[in-house]
Amino acid sequence: MADDELPVVSFGSLMTEGTSLSRRGQHDKALGCFNDALKLRAGDKHCLITRSRCFLRLGDTENSLKDAEASLQIDSTFYEGLYQKAAALYAMGDFEFALVFYHRGRRLRPDLHKFQLGINKAEEAIINCIGNLMQSSTRQGVKVMDLVLGGISYLQQRRDFWQQQRPMYARLHERRALRQRRARDSKQKPSDIARAIAKDVEDIQLMLARGSAEESCRKAERLLKKIQAWSEDEVPNKNELIGNLHSCIGDAQLAMGQMEAALHSHKMDLDCARQNTLTDAVSRALDNIGHVYARSGKFQQAINTWEEKIPLAQSSLEKAWLFHEIGRCYLELDKAEVAQDYGQKSLQSAEEEGDVEWQLHATVLVAQAQVKLKDYRAAILNFERALEKARLVPSESAQNGIIAALDSVSKSFIAELNKGHEDGMNPSREDRLFSSESIKTTTENVEEEEKGN
């Protein structure tokens, strides 16, 4: 073949091939395509982000972060770069920094639900880390929790002492400063007010992320009253902010276990969103209302709410999460067949997004539904697929849970075969071999886990 007959390798063809390989799980080969693509078009932000995702799936968090940061150097408002930087930081265990970038991304693109999902995930990780930290001890054997509580007690004692001793002129000074602040606020430009409010809202969300739900709720309620007293001229997006604060209050109330109050706050957010035709806020409110119903054990109400949200889902990742949650509720209601259907929908959306973690969740849901339907053979196959994905994530707790589930369903499968034999129905040779192999595989996996530990 002559040189001029050789197929032309373009940037677009390399990107397409790399994306296709990555979706099939062939990340090493996909990485080669993205490297070649960047040689043809150096500094392309979309290619950098695609390669960053590939690095992350290979467990190379440092290079994933470098590519995400490189894309943001090219375009600081590139929302995909913000999301990928947050994802890389989360994978590295820098949960608070990840939370900051998830929040930045959501402010830039509130219509993309994946930023809210990232915020939820990072907040949960931060709370878990704080809990684990409190149980640790210093080198002298003193518990960190005891030190923290002791410090708080000391500060409270000093605060009480100085409040008793504070002279009257200090209080007068504070009142004068408050009047000055109010006068200064009244002269602020709308743009300055908007920036100050955005900072307050971010503080409210960070308080909740760090486990200070009561403080977060109080600050959100104070800010809500303040904004309600202002005019549209002072705060152009007043109605949107009011809805957002109702949402923040509802999140804090949910964290405190105040289910009825949380439901009321999120319904206030929904009413505000519908009255002002704020589609993204409607989607957010339906999401949160569904959460409250599910946490309260009202699974049918959660299903009805989340099914109303389906047409508003903006991405494959959001659909993967939504279908999974609806499927879980149907499973709780013993409607296993419908749960299996939603699990398959979730898996399809997760595969479109190329998100292994949600592929794992969806596959487990499908397998659990199949166990309820007594389709043990299909359940075993799906638990084995889930185990492979758990190793890619990686998640040791998920692996252990799946191994236990595999063991249980394999025993149920054998019991069913034995019952059939007693009833005069001989199982096929294929079924007998399959059940024996599944038990062997489960046993080997358990042994591998024990060796690893």
Would you say how long the chain is, in residues?
Answer: 453
Is the pLDDT at 354 greater than 70, yes or no?
yes
Residues 6+ apart with CB under 8 A from 205: 103, 119, 216, 248
- CB-CB neighbours of 414 under 10 Å: 18
Position 165 scores a pLDDT of: 44
Which of 109-113, 228-232, 379-383, 445-449 is the most confident on average? 379-383
- CB-CB neighbours of 23 under 10 Å: 14
Position 55 scores a pLDDT of: 92
**Residues facing 143 on adjacent strands:** 137
Question: What are the structure tokens assigned to 338, written together?
Answer: 């419908």
- CB-CB neighbours of 107 under 10 Å: 14
Is the pLDDT at 131 greater than 60, yes or no?
no
Question: What are the structure tokens assigned to 241, written together?
Answer: 């902010």
Work out the average pLDDT over 218-232: 87
CB crowding 147-182: b at 16 or more within 10 Å, else e: eeeeeeeeeeeeeeeeeeeeeeeeeeeeeeeeeeee
Is the pLDDT at 164 greater than 50, yes or no?
no
Position 274 scores a pLDDT of: 94
Work out the average pLDDT over 27-46: 89
Question: What are the structure tokens assigned to 324, written together?
Answer: 């999974």
Position 198 scores a pLDDT of: 77
Work out the average pLDDT over 5-27: 73
Q: Average pLDDT of the chain?
A: 79
Q: Say how far apart CA 336 and CA 343 lie, in whole Å.
A: 10
Position 401 scores a pLDDT of: 85
Q: Which of 390, 337, 395, 387 is nearest to 366 (CA)?
A: 337
Higher-confidence residue of 217 and 232: namely 217
Position 179 scores a pLDDT of: 54
Position 29 scores a pLDDT of: 87
Residue owning tokens 């054998």: 414
Work out the average pLDDT over 379-390: 90
Is the pLDDT at 97 greater than 70, yes or no?
yes
Higher-confidence residue of 125 and 134: namely 125
Position 393 scores a pLDDT of: 74
Is the pLDDT at 102 greater than 80, yes or no?
yes
pTM: 0.58
Residues 6+ apart with CB under 8 A from 402: 364, 383, 386, 387, 390
Work out the average pLDDT over 380-401: 84
Is the pLDDT at 252 greater than 80, yes or no?
yes
pLDDT in tens, 166-222: 444 444 445 555 555 555 555 455 566 777 787 888 788 777 766 788 888 999 999
pLDDT in tens, 276-335: 998 888 998 999 999 999 989 999 999 999 999 999 888 888 899 899 999 999 999 999
**Contacts within 8 Å (CB) and 24+ apart, 270-276:** 272/239, 272/242, 272/243, 272/246, 273/243, 275/239, 276/239, 276/240, 276/243
Domains of the chain: 9-131 (1.25.40.10), 187-308 (1.25.40.10)
Position 303 scores a pLDDT of: 96
Is the pLDDT at 447 greater than 90, yes or no?
no
Position 418 scores a pLDDT of: 74
Q: Say how far apart CA 224 and CA 39 lie, in whole Å.
A: 52
Position 300 scores a pLDDT of: 96
User: Lowest-confidence range among 22-36, 58-72, 296-310?
Assistant: 22-36
Position 231 scores a pLDDT of: 79
How big is the chain by its Cα radius of gyration, in Å?
27
